Amino acid sequence: MEPPQVLTYELLESITGGFSKENQIGSGSYGAVYLGTMPNGDKVAVKKFHDSSPARDDFNFKTEFDNLTRVHHPHIVKIVGYCYEEKKLNELHQGRLVEVFKIYRVLCLEYLPKGSLKDYLSDGFYNLDWHTCYKIIKGIFEAIKYIHLELGEAFYHLDIKPGNILLDEVVGAKLADFGLSKVFHERLTRTTDSSYGTRGYRPPEFVDRNHVSEKFDIFSMGVVVLELVTGPKCYLEIDDTPHPEFIDQAQKKWRAMLCQKYKDSLLEAYCKQVEKCVEIGLKCAEKNRKMRPEIREIIDQLNETESCISMSDTVQRDKTTRST
């Protein structure tokens, strides 16, 4: 993978219309994100960091830059370029012109035109078909497996939520916003004074005791899976409904849509995949972190559902061929 380009602030200002409100596509605690069009016509997402506290802003910029240059995966948003420029300006201060130094901190990221998962969640939760839902679930779990197990160190995202899952038409979903992500040298549960995650997606052990481990991301993704498959208000029903009944209710809702396209063993295989995804979501969102599954186990279970669908599809194709 090519290293990120060094970009001038002048170029980034030009491609975003001067960081205009019309081109703003997002905002967060660290800055705002703008849509830009590079000279070659490529669309990019331009993240401009705040310039309010030099030490803190430098830390935030460097953390996200380092994290993004560390990861290279089909289901993780790619960094395209960056800008870190210091300029001397003349500004009015108490009626006098004074020289000030201003630092511009900007990251240029790949642009995903379909927005974030947050834009598609609703009480009806049918804005996405099952194939798309499953691609999102499998893709983000693959990204988690990559950062947890394949980088040589314990690397956790620590802010997985629908707003940080971006969608495209090719791979389905990509994990974004690595500003809170953290590298640990050992895979241990630890206590931290730092604030991680977003309310509703933080695991109980962090809320209560500030404990961080790989099960932090597993819990967050469990909540995302449940919101995606059963609706964003699923948490209102989980505590009051036995898990088997909760899974059955979700499967029946999806069956009503899947049966319009599939039948016989293939329909049953897809319904089993829905059931398995809800089951995984519930297990990942367990209050006791020790009861949450390992990421390898999750991927294996998802792969099994794909094998069952493939076998059922083959059987159904054979039946169709013989009948004709």
Catalytically active residues are 159
**Going by DSSP bridges, is the β-strand pair 31-37/190-191 parallel, antiparallel, or unpaired?**
unpaired
- Picking from 103, 75, 83, the residue whose alpha carbon sits closest to that of residue 178 is 75
**Going by DSSP bridges, is the β-strand pair 154-156/182-184 parallel, antiparallel, or unpaired?**
antiparallel
Half-sphere exposure of 188 (CA within 13 A, CB side): 5
Residue 31 CA to residue 106 CA, distance in Å, equals 9
